[in-house]
Amino acid sequence: MKLKATQVESFLRSPDAKAQFILIYGEDEGLVRERGATLAKTVVDDLKDPFRVVELGPSHLKEDGGRLRDEAAAISFGGGRRVVRLRDIGDAHAAVVSDFLQHPAGDALIVCEAGSLPSRSKLRQAVEKASNGMALPCYADSGRDLEGLIKSVMDEHHLQVERDAMRYLIANLGSDRMISRNELQKLALYALNQQQVTLADAMACIGDSSAHHYDDVLQSVSAGNVANLDLALTRLVEEGLNPVGALRMMIGYFQKLHLVKGQVAQGTSVEQAMKSLRPPLFFKAADQFRANLSYWPLPHIQRALQIFLEAEKDCKSGLAVPETLAHRAMIKVTVARQKQGRR
């Protein structure tokens, strides 16, 4: 079975009892792991309990195809339902998963965490076609998702967030749920003795985060600055680069440029077109965006989008190293911008 994105949250609160095998997949690794833990805790409170929770990786399934069935059928010491967590599983293990779904064993909940899987993925197809399987997609947080996450974390600490601070946080978080949550927890501790999180608080805490480094990459590409791009990419690698997340950030930004360009061509003013964007641009990013509208002709924006979309597709294919593909795409677009003339 397959869940729609709008059904995921209700399923996480109350999983379908028929779904013994749950596949969680997507480019947001942090969100995948967070949802995996949430589902596992519907069965076991302490995920470190060695008698009720077991983790298996690709090597376990490769070396012993029957290991999954054995663990699912095992009885825990002291009683209680068990959880089997599968990590970093992909299409190479689709046959093992398909066999288990057709001939299930035991009553353990099996939570399988995977990266981005296309619709043709054999692993996805096996789970989606099974009556005892469920596939949950994890997409990068949108503006609305981020706003909900921000409010949720701040509510835990009895903190309000002023409007400009909220806009800044939405603009600088979102590539990875785990990173976003950790950064927000850090911000909440920073503002613990206050009633409201201000823009200054947000900039002080989030300014040196990986989200900020993603923004450095974006600005380097849009400005045609190859030297700065190499430096920004180096920082991202040190933080744990999510190549698909970085490409999706690029795609989102250039889609906004494309949208505003199209509206302006139809007679809408630049300011009005920019104000129509959702989520709205953080005010300190507006000048840079406005400048990019001038320096990026529509055909060049379309070409950049094509390059980034093709790179994202190639990253998901598994045919090459994602970091290399993302780097090449960004260099290609940056050099093209550089040839237009520096600002």
Residue with the bigger pLDDT between 159 and 139: it is: 159
Residue with the bigger pLDDT between 36 and 295: it is: 36
Residue-range definition of the domain harbouring residue 185: 143-206
pLDDT category of residue 320 using cuts at 50, 70 and 90: low
Domain containing residue 301: CATH number: 1.20.272.10
What pLDDT, on the 0 to 100 scale, is given for residue 135? 94
Tell whether the model's pLDDT for residue 239 goes beyond 70: no
Gap between the Cα atoms of 305 and 287, Å rounded: 21
Average pLDDT of the chain? 85
- State which of 122, 138, 154 marks the end of a domain: 138
Work out how many domains the chain is built from and give that number. 3
Tell me the HSE value of 127 on the side-chain side, using a 13 A CA sphere: 31
What pLDDT, on the 0 to 100 scale, is given for residue 341? 61
The answer to whether residues 106 and 151 belong to one domain is: no
pLDDT in tens, 258-284: 999 888 888 888 888 888 876 666 655
Domain containing residue 149: CATH number: 1.10.8.60
- State which of 157, 185, 206 marks the end of a domain: 206
The answer to whether residues 260 and 198 belong to one domain is: no
pLDDT in tens, 71-91: 999 998 888 899 999 988 888
pLDDT category of residue 208 using cuts at 50, 70 and 90: very low
Gap between the Cα atoms of 184 and 178, Å rounded: 10
The answer to whether residues 133 and 170 belong to one domain is: no
The answer to whether residues 243 and 288 belong to one domain is: yes
The answer to whether residues 9 and 106 belong to one domain is: yes
Tell whether the model's pLDDT for residue 11 goes beyond 70: yes
pLDDT category of residue 343 using cuts at 50, 70 and 90: very low
The answer to whether residues 148 and 238 belong to one domain is: no
Backbone φ, ψ for residue 80 (5° rounding): 100, 150
Least confident of 101-105, 106-110, 147-151, 175-179: 175-179
Tell whether the model's pLDDT for residue 157 goes beyond 50: yes
Torsion of CA 52, 58, 26, 100, to 10 degrees: -70
Domain containing residue 125: CATH number: 3.40.50.300
The answer to whether residues 149 and 26 belong to one domain is: no
The answer to whether residues 83 and 11 belong to one domain is: yes
The answer to whether residues 225 and 165 belong to one domain is: no
- State which of 138, 164, 192 marks the end of a domain: 138
Does the model's pTM come out above 0.75?
no
What pLDDT, on the 0 to 100 scale, is given for residue 145? 79
The answer to whether residues 330 and 218 belong to one domain is: yes
Burial call 201-236: b when 16+ CB within 10 Å, e when fewer? bbbebbeebbbbbbbbbbbbbbbbbbebbeebbebb
